[in-house]
Amino acid sequence: MGAAVGGGGVASFLEIPVFMVVPFLIIRKLFQRDLNPVLSALIAASVWVSYEFLHHNWDLSWPWLTLGNAWSNHTGVIQFISYTGVLGISFWVFATSALLWQTSQKGAKSLLVISAGFFLAFPAFSLYTFLSIGDSYEGDPVDVVIVQPNSDSYQPNGGFGSNSELITHLLQLSGEALTDSSDVLIWPENALDTSVQLRSPQLERIRDSLDVWNTKLITGTGYIDFYEEENAPDVVRETGDGRIYNVFNAALSLTSGSDTGIYKKGRLVPIVERFPFVGFFQSIDRFGWVDWGSISGYGKGGEPTLFEVDGSHTPALICYDSVFPGWVNRFVDEGAGFLTIITNDGWWGDSHGHIQHFAYARLRAIEHRMWIARSANNGISGIISPDGKIQLETEYWTEAAFSYRIYTNSNKTFYSRNGEWFGYLMLVLTLLGIVLLVIKKKQERVIQSE
């Protein structure tokens, strides 16, 4: 997650204000027209949320700044996102702010009442939603073991003398926390601190331990995938002897047998993990002046792969993946019973980035009413229940391993069933608002001409 301190973060903070100007220009025009103040406030909020929604869905996305994320630790008042997703919070906050601004400009007491009512309506709906949870989202038990190795990502082999020593450390921590009832062992993103192929000595050594423990492992690692030319994606790397391949930030599901599940990270940090729009640039480079494959960064996965765990299924959301509500929704739509997040938040150093990243997982728990098991290399690792409550969390930059019983959920929320419906609704309202602006401007011109 190098964007926390590297070029990706800088690039994102430079490009976001540029594109943020567009929704604010539209909102400014709205407030300049003599429209109903409530209508203009609601359209203004839809414009802003439309911007956030679209920003989640391109190669320069930095969803950290989604307005609703700021409320991730105030779970008591945001339970309604099991219907709207996190964009519902952004709409609530922006619309309330716009209504209050309109109130200050017009001085109408009726507007103040409307503003207060709108602000209180969403928490009231949250209370109703919370009280209706009951045990409807509690299915079969799953005993998870979370490992936080606290290896140093700034050093080769995580600061150990060799990759073998790093794996020994991971196995020792795992063995201390495993119980006879453990269903799955979870290691963080970049746990192996190398890139592997399926037939590698590192994986065979791990499988030997899994055979003894009679359990399954989900772990983060770099993964090298070689292609036959006819099956290769558009952007690839090439070895000296002409073989084509890509390297992925990946998660593997390992058992004592030979079966291996592979998930290739689908949401990559701009600049740091992948060159933005590299496929487009390669397509217009007709003369092949640039070896785009060599500068592309990680390969980009596109499939919401699930791993089987004791009759249920879970994704292995890798770091940045977990901040994209629409991407997470695809895994739930495929049949996930609980959510697993593996991450390496040591890149954040002494900043608050690792705290924010952990908090955002609470949003995903509420949206889908699912338990979350989170393994972070240096912390914060933990367990989050379907109401967004933190059941267990580790200290940052410490070594830890623990066992915890969570539960599956096969009952989908409204948001789980309907995905990004709220974002599309905001786009429709924004288009209607723009049409209204055009009509209003024409009417004003007619009046002036008379």
Q: What is the pLDDT of residue 1?
A: 46
Q: What is the pLDDT of residue 11?
A: 56
Average pLDDT over residues 3-8: 48
Percent with pLDDT over 90 in the chain: 68
Which carries the bigger pLDDT value, residue 110 or residue 376? 376
pLDDT of residue 4 exceeding 80, the answer is no
Q: What is the pLDDT of residue 78?
A: 97
Which carries the bigger pLDDT value, residue 230 or residue 58? 58
pLDDT of residue 3 exceeding 50, the answer is no
Whose structure tokens read 């390496």?
Answer: 344
Measure the CA–CA gap between 178 and 63, rounded to whole angstroms: 36
Q: What is the pLDDT of residue 5?
A: 44
pLDDT of residue 8 exceeding 60, the answer is no
Q: Do 16 and 284 contact (CB within 8 A), yes or no? A: no
Average pLDDT over residues 347-375: 94
380: preceding bond cis by omega (within 30 degrees): yes
Measure the CA–CA gap between 410 and 186, rounded to whole angstroms: 22
Least confident of 171-175, 195-199, 361-365, 388-392: 195-199
Measure the CA–CA gap between 233 and 292, rounded to whole angstroms: 13
For 339, list phi and psi in degrees, rounded to 5. Answer: -110, 135
Average pLDDT over residues 361-384: 97
Which carries the bigger pLDDT value, residue 350 or residue 433? 433
Average pLDDT over residues 96-104: 90
Q: What is the pLDDT of residue 207?
A: 94
Q: What is the pLDDT of residue 133?
A: 78
pLDDT of residue 7 exceeding 60, the answer is no
- pLDDT grade for 28, boundaries at 50, 70 and 90: confident
pLDDT of residue 145 exceeding 60, the answer is yes
* Average of per-residue pLDDT values in the chain: 90
pLDDT of residue 18 exceeding 80, the answer is no
Q: What is the pLDDT of residue 13?
A: 56
At 219-277, the pLDDT tens digits run 999 999 999 888 888 888 989 888 999 999 999 999 987 789 999 999 999 888 999 99
Closest CA to 310 of 331, 340, 330: 340
SS (H, E, C) the chain: CHHHCCHHHHHHHHHHHHHHHHHHHHHHHHHHCCCCHHHHHHHHHHHHHHHHHHHCCCCCCCHHHCHHHHHCCCHHHCCCHHHHCCHHHHHHHHHHHHHHHHHHHHCCHHHHHHHHHHHHHHHHHHHHHHHCCCCCCCCCEEEEEEEECCCCCCCHHHHCCCHHHHHHHHHHHHHHHCCCCCCEEECCCCCCCCEECCCCHHHHHHHHHHHHHCCEEEEEEEEEEEECHHHCCCCCEECCCCCEEEEEEEEEEECCCCCEEEEECCCCCECCCECCCHHHHHHHCCCCCCCHHHHCECCCCCCCCCEEECCEEECEEEHHHHHCHHHHHHHHHCCCCCEEEEECHHHHCCCCHHHHHHHHHHHHHHHHCCCEEEEECCCCCEEECCCCCEEEECCCCCCEEEEEEEECCCCCCHHHHHCCHHHHHHHHHHHHHHHHHHHHHHHHHHHHHC
Q: Quick one: residue 6, left, alpha or beta (phi over 0 = left, psi -120 to 50 = alpha)?
A: beta
For 272, list phi and psi in degrees, rounded to 5. Answer: -65, -45
Token readout for 236 is 């690839």
At 159-174, the pLDDT tens digits run 999 999 999 999 999 9
262, amino acid identity: I
Least confident of 17-21, 119-123, 277-281: 17-21
Average pLDDT over residues 187-194: 94
- pLDDT grade for 349, boundaries at 50, 70 and 90: confident
Q: What is the pLDDT of residue 2?
A: 44
| pTM beyond cutoff 0.85 | yes
Token readout for 224 is 């090298």
Which of 60-64, 104-108, 357-361: highest mean pLDDT?
357-361
Which carries the bigger pLDDT value, residue 26 or residue 6? 26
Q: Tell me the HSE value of 370 on the side-chain side, using a 13 A CA sphere.
A: 33
Measure the CA–CA gap between 27 and 102, rounded to whole angstroms: 13
> Which residues are within 8 A (CB) of 13 and not within 5 positions of it... i.e. 6 or more apart?
62
Q: What is the pLDDT of residue 397?
A: 94
Average pLDDT over residues 88-112: 90
